[in-house]
Structure 1
Amino acid sequence: MVDRSRRDVLKFSGAALGGIAVGSTVTVAERTDRFIVDAKGKTDADDLSKRGLDVVHDLSQLGYFVVEGAEKDVERAKGKYAPDMVISLDLPTDRVDVDAGDQSATDEPFYGFQWDKQVQDIPEAHETTRGEGARVAIIDSGVNAGHPDLAHAVNEELSANFTGDGQGAANAAGGYHGTHVAGIVAANDRNEAGVVGTAPGAEVVDCRVFSATTNAAFGDILAAVAYSADIGCDVANLSLGAYPVSRKGNGKFYGKFLNSTMTYANSKGTLLTISTGNDGADLQHDGPVYALPVEGAQGCGVSATGPVGFGYGGPDLEEAFDSPSNYTNYGTNAVTVSAPGGDYDPAQPAGWYYDMVLSTISEPAYDDDGDYLGAVNSYSWIAGTSMAAPQVAGAAALVKSEAPDMNANQVESLLKRTATDGTGGKEYHGSGFVNPVGALEEL
């Protein structure tokens, strides 16, 4: 429990409303000018170009292409196809932000508020490794390399923009979300400022798939997954999703494309850590629909847990740190492990937002034409399965740092085997609550 004297030095801006982070979808739409082509050797990029199609992503290593053009031209190409899917995500309308201006504590001054790192015993894990040598892709809205808690970690040369918006990578051009996710993985533990990441010694690659519109194309996301595997990422984190997507019609096509991509990444040694989503849905008994990508093959699905009462000042929690969060999707078919994602109960006394996850944030600014101008760096509490998945990505990075020869399946198996029993059933925790120290001790 954080003592009240340290809490009182913080200032907050904005309304005292909790934000559920990216992970739930409000709209799934199909584009009319962009298509996914299942080629499987029946066509190639040159043939598609000759038919008047612009090849956006050449995924011939998977047997697929993402193209733009008229459907009549796609129809004349060889191979099955479906419209690319656009995912519109439910971003929070408010967060609880930190003004660190009056903070004068040494070391990492906000660690006392990071119940998520405390319950995972991250400082003890760092006695073994800080994640040196591991590489983690963040497939998201952009990771701002200019954030002082992430400047040490972001590989700007390998970072890539998959959106086609021309606004670069290693920045927050698609929103604040990716920087928050990246801080959970790799925030600097040695700069005497801000917060602590699970694997601050790991390298982070920004794979930006969202623009300022908050929309992401399914083809862009899977192209980023394939790229992460091709550049040797040990882990790729996907704190995003589409739900519900029908398993019929084009849904079958999307599922096949997803499974091919995820299997490819797994074969290259890249573990995919994926948020289960924030709909409070039972993914095992929800009928003939998908939650994508978490219900794809070879992924490590992560549900969210969180306390209720961490910041109230009393000795007892109303809900334990490993209790399922009120919004988390669940189901034994989708959840591999659980991890801290944050919880909240605004009806409780002041300080309820301390039950969410504190991490880095970069708030983007744009000109009147929508061009990215830069970002204001700070810290913020947010809750969501989006915050849970990178906890597991960080744990996997620690394991790979100590055991670089382990493949993706072996890393996932170790995390599952060493996970601890969580409050609630297997439908919420899968194999259990992630335990980085336990995983390292078993190596």
Structure 2
Amino acid sequence: LADYGIEQAWQTTRGAGSTIAVIDTGIARGPVEFAGAVADGTDVSGAGSADGRTPVGAVDSDHGSWVASLAAGRGTGSDTGMIGVAPEAQLLSVSVGFGSAATRSFADQIADAIRWSVDNGADVINMSLTTNAPDWPQSWDDAFLYAYENDVVVVVAAGNRASGTTRVGAPATIPGVLTVAGVDPQGNASVNASTQGITIGVSAPSEKLIGVSADGRLVVWDGTSGAAPIVAGVAALVRSAHPDLDADNVINRIIRTARPASGPKELYGYGLVDAGAAVSASVEAVSENPMGSLEEWVRLYRRAQSEPRAAEPVAPVDIPALPPADTIDRAGSPLLPDSGTLLYGTLPLTVATAAAILVALGVTAAVRRIRLASRAPSR
């Protein structure tokens, strides 16, 4: 609490007036640390209770309570029990199921969980979960855009190498979310309880954390699942201290006031979170989310969703008139004479034939006269 400026921030605010939705396995009813902290809840897994307060899952049922206790645990009395980063903020418990602990698809659960959280007053959403893959379902586009359009800060864990996440996976890769990496007690990037990637915004403790289990027991645990609610608590403190700031400027204050780390941005983001500076420092305002624009990403990469472009108008073109067509000689029957055959063939042949006939007739007549003359009686 002292190393990350949280006690300093408490001199200004403890998060009153802000609401953190914990989208996880459910915040248990029993622990006294949650007395008066949980304003409402729901179940989107199909396996929990209607108010989201029944832990879901045989393995991870305590996870949601651990996360919530870091964000806004109330303690058990004066200086006793466990206290969270924003102990006067309200919590919303949204229970989701992983694997066989759910009767609905994980993609549908997350989309519904985000919308319910926004509709029920969350101004900060914490998601200590990962898909271990950089891509996300298309249905998440609208859900996350819905959160951004309603001025909600979305804080997401980067994931842990020890659990098989070798690179940042969705939802920590979605533009606009504040992705949190983890560091060890000395402030160095955690080898097992964190991962790396270019989408990391800030870093927070992820080793030797305390958490309140569903049965009220305190446990020690590791992971960016714990680093994320620490930063979500800081976001609640900033929103409480500066209610006029929109989500983009809340995120901007957190990353701009982070303490620089001696390592690449892929490990630490902008640095180690500093709650005191985030609440009280003078930070220049911004007009857009410094963690990127999901709307622009959708426009560029979800091409099927883009509006069709209107066809460009085409100017009329004058085309010159076509020249008159050539005269066509119609083909005749090869059995009928044409003008050429009549003039040069049929007519001369007819004349010659007639002359030959006349000559033949004259010769025949002459021969007959000679024969008759030879047969006359002599006198």
TM-score by length of 2: 0.68
CA contact (8 A) 1:258 1:296 kept: no
**Distance in 2 between the 1:166 and 1:135 partners?**
22
1:143 matched to 2:9: no
SS of 2:116's equivalent?
helix
In the TM superposition, residue 210 of structure 1 has moved relative to its aligned partner by 2.0
Paired amino acid for 2:200: V
Structure 1 unmatched runs, 5+: 1-116, 285-290, 308-319, 343-355, 363-375
The CA deviation string for residues 224-275 of structure 1, in whole angstroms up to 9 with x for no partner, is 1111112221100000110136x5xxx6xx1x32232212201101111000
Rounded to whole Å, the distance in 1 between the matches of 2:252 and 2:64 is 27
Amino acid at match of 1:230: D
Residues 195, 202 of structure 1: CA spacing in aligned structure 2 closer, same or farther, 3 A cutoff?
same
Greater Rg by CA:
2
1: distance between equivalents of 2:36 and 2:99? 25
CA distance in 2, matches of 1:261, 1:277: 21
Q: Percent identity among equivalent residues? A: 29
In 1, are the aligned partners of 2:180 and 2:202 still within 8 Å (CA)?
Answer: yes
User: Structure 1 or 2: larger helix share?
Assistant: 2
| 3-state secondary structure, aligned to 2:200 | coil
Structure 1 residue 146: deviation in Å? Answer: 2.4
What aligned pairs does 1:316-395 form with structure 2 within 5 A after superposition? 320=186, 322-327=187-192, 328-332=194-198, 334-342=199-207, 356-362=208-214, 376-395=215-234
Partner of 2:46: 164
Distance in 1 between the 2:48 and 2:24 partners? 16
Distance 1:378 1:148, change over 3 A: same
Please report how far the alpha carbon of residue 202 of structure 1 lies from its aligned counterpart in structure 2 after TM superposition: 0.1
> Bigger CA drift: 141-150 or 178-187?
141-150
Aligned equivalent of 2:84: 197
1:259 aligned partner: 141
Aligned partner (choices 126, 134, 148) of residue 10 of structure 2:
126
Deviations, residues 142-165 of structure 1 (Å, cap 9, x unaligned): 00132101112111xx31111122
2:74 corresponds, among 170, 174, 188, to: 188
1:74-96 superposed Cα distances (whole Å, 9 cap, x missing partner): xxxxxxxxxxxxxxxxxxxxxxx
**Cα pair 2:15 2:89 within 8 Å, conserved:** yes
Q: Distance in 1 between matches of 2:260 and 2:13?
A: 24
Say which of 296, 304, 311 aligns to 2:182. Answer: 304
Structure-to-structure mapping, 1:225-304, within 5 angstroms: 225-244=114-133, 247=135, 254=137, 256-279=138-161, 283=167, 291-304=169-182
Instruction: Tell me the secondary structure at the aligned position of residue 180 of structure 2.
Output: strand
- Aligned-partner Cα distance in 1 for 2:74–2:41: 19
SS at match of 2:156: strand
Residues 194 and 418 of structure 1: CA distance in aligned 2, closer, same or farther (over 3 Å): same
Shift of the alpha carbon at 1:278? 0.8
After TM superposition, the structure 1 = structure 2 runs for residues 49-198 of structure 1, keeping only pairs within 5 Å, are 117-155=1-39, 158-165=40-47, 167-174=49-56, 175-189=61-75, 191-192=77-78, 193-198=80-85
CA contact (8 A) 1:173 1:212 kept: no
Q: Tell me the CA shift for residue 213 of structure 1.
A: 4.3
Give the deviation of 1:294 after TM superposition: 0.8
The 1:338–1:143 alpha-carbon spacing in structure 2 relative to 1, beyond 3 Å, is: same
Letter in 1 for 2:201: T
Contact kept? 2:48, 2:55, Cα under 8 Å: no
In 2, are the aligned partners of 1:163 and 1:210 still within 8 Å (CA)?
Answer: yes
| Cα deviation, residue 136, structure 1 | 0.3
Is the Cα contact below 8 Å between 1:173 and 1:211 reproduced in 2? no
Matches within 5 A, 1:404-443: 404-442=243-281
* Contact 1:159/1:206 (<8 A) preserved: yes
Q: What is the total number of aligned residue pairs between the two structures? A: 272
> What is the rounded CA distance, in whole Å, between the counterparts of 1:196 and 1:140 in structure 2?
19
Aligned to 2:365: none
Residue pair 2:32, 2:76 contacting (<8 A) in 1 also: no
* Structure number with higher strand proportion: 1
Distance 1:166 1:388, change over 3 A: closer
User: What RMSD in Å do the two structures reach over aligned CA positions?
Assistant: 2.0
3-state DSSP class of the match of 1:229? helix
User: Secondary structure of 2:33's partner?
Assistant: coil
Measure, in 1, the Cα distance between the counterparts of 2:248 and 2:217: 36
Q: Against the structure 1 CA distance between its residues 323 and 428, is the aligned structure 2 distance closer, same or farther, given a 3 Å change threshold?
A: same
Q: Residue 412 of structure 1 aligns to which amino acid in structure 2?
A: I
**Which has the bigger relative contact order, CA under 8 A and spacing at least 6?**
1
In 2, Cα distance between the equivalents of 1:277 and 1:139? 15
The DSSP-based 3-state class of the residue aligned with 1:236 is strand
User: Which consecutive residues of structure 2, in runs of 5 or more, have no partner in the other structure?
Assistant: 283-379
Whether contact under 8 Å (2:65, 2:212) holds in the other structure is yes
CA deviation digits over 1:302-324, x for unaligned, max 9? 111112xxxxxxxxxxxx1x211
2:133 maps to amino acid: P
**SS class of match (2:231):** helix
SS at the partner of 1:207? Answer: strand
Structure 2 residue matching 1:206: 3-state secondary structure: strand
2:83 counterpart letter in structure 1: V
The 3-state SS of whatever aligns with 1:419 is coil
